[in-house]
Amino acid sequence: MYRKIIALITVFIITFSLSACNNKKTNEVNNSEGEKIDVVVSFNPLKEFTEAIGKDKVNVITVIQGGIEPHDFEPKAKDLGNINSGKIFVYNGLEMEPWVDKVLESINNKEVILVDSSKGVNAIKSIQKEEGEDEQHGDYDPHIWLSLKEAKVQSNNIKEALIKADASNKDYYNKNYEEFLEELDNLYNEYKNKFDKVSNKKFVTGHAAFSYLCRDFNLEQNSIEGVYSEGEPSAKKLRELVDYAKKNEVKTIFAEENASPQVSNTLAREVGAKVEKIYSLEIKEDNKDYIQSMRDNLEKIYISLK
């Protein structure tokens, strides 16, 4: 309790001092041409979308940095300070960030433009929660950014916020957005064609992050860990996966950086499959952008099904 009070006081002090700086900064931005817009985003995919549309006119600050499991994150006073002094704050929504309500309540800079990137997406209900799974998560699967279709909706929400913050560059944001959409559509069409031609639609991965990608391409995922990356699976779950992989002649077990790679290795050995890396994009990896990572994912899944 004592520690909580101290933490709360620290948060208040930082919030107040930062909001004082912030007023000055906002005026500076308005007064000088060519100043970048500070956009704070909760995690990597939102940085990708914001940079694709804002390009050299935005300075993106990512709250959840590499090396942290995004599903277990708690913000620090520093993060709150960043959000409070930014022009725009973008979060994924669908309770990918269970901490966001508290943060929104505590920021006292009412000029920050808040963006729930999931506004308007066609959300998928989460499969029933498994035993021991975190109760703080919501009813919908939050991994919308792994759908090339829903990425368009998220990008549109971000574009609208950029225009609201910086109306004089409206044409620039619209143009970049249209170009990004074309890239998303091209990638979608290319792989829609490919996946339509394969009869095997089932793949196995480490973390159940791909239900939206599966919906886009009519595929089916099975996974070692659940939707919230909750750790090592039970012996029973592992046996089920072995049976599933054998029955469906799964030749590749995918593994994400944040999930349990050892379990992927064990499973692969058990069923005579190989292990391939897949990107959940929750953190930036191998210096690849959104389109490159998604292309990589789709190509690897396609090869494994062919």
Query: Considering the complex, what minimum distance in angstroms separates the CB of residue 230 from Zn ion?
Result: 10
Q: Which of 63, 209, 255, 278 binds Zn ion (CB under 5 A)?
A: 209
Name the one range near Zn ion by CB under 5 A: 50-58, 100-108, 163-171, 203-211. Answer: 203-211
Task: Compare residues 209 and 224 and give the one whose CB is closer to Zn ion.
Answer: 209
Residue pair 144/121 in contact (Cβ under 8 Å)? The answer is yes
Residue 197 beta carbon to Zn ion: minimum distance, rounded to whole angstroms: 29
The distance in angstroms from the start CA to the end CA of the chain is 57
Cβ proximity to Zn ion: between 52 and 209 the closer is 209
Indicate the residue among 146 and 163 with the shorter CB distance to Zn ion. 146
What is the smallest separation between the CB atom of 212 and Zn ion, expressed in angstroms? 11
Helices 290-305 and 44-54, packing angle to 10 deg = 120
What distance in Å separates the CA atoms of residue 238 and residue 232, rounded to the nearest whole number?
A: 10
Least distance (Å) between residue 19 CB and Zn ion = 32
Q: Could you tell me which stretch among 6-14, 55-63, 116-124, 202-210 binds Zn ion (CB under 5 A)?
A: 202-210
The distance of Cα 281 from the centroid of its chain, to the nearest Å, equals 6
Distance of CA 210 to the CA centre of its chain: 11
**Phi and psi at residue 152, in whole multiples of 5°?**
-65, -40
CB of 66 to Zn ion, least distance (A): 14
Place of tokens 């919906």: 215
124 belongs to the binding site for Zn ion (CB under 5 A): no
Per-residue b or e along 136-161, where b marks 16 or more CB atoms closer than 10 Å to that residue's CB:
ebeebbbbbbbbbbbbbbbbbbbbeb
H/E stretch holding 274 reads strand 274-277
CB closer to Zn ion, 148 vs 209: 209
Scanning the chain, the segments in alpha helix (DSSP H) are 2-31, 44-54, 77-85, 100-106, 148-165, 170-196, 211-217, 235-247, 261-271, 290-305
Q: Which stretch binds Zn ion (CB under 5 A): 47-55, 72-80, 207-215, 231-239?
A: 207-215
Residue 96 Cβ vs Zn ion, minimum distance, rounded to whole Å: 8
Q: Which amino acid is at 103?
A: V
Measured at CB, which residue is nearest to Zn ion?
209
- Interaction mask 162-201, Zn ion, x per CB under 5 A: ----------------------------------------
Question: Could you tell me how many residues of this chain bind Zn ion (CB under 5 A)?
Answer: 1
Q: Closer CB to Zn ion, residue 146 or residue 181?
A: 146
* Region from 85-93, 123-131, 204-212, 287-295 binding Zn ion, contact rule CB under 5 A: 204-212
- Report DSSP letters for 250-269, one per residue: --EEEE-SSS-HHHHHHHHH
- The footprint of Zn ion (CB under 5 A) covers 209
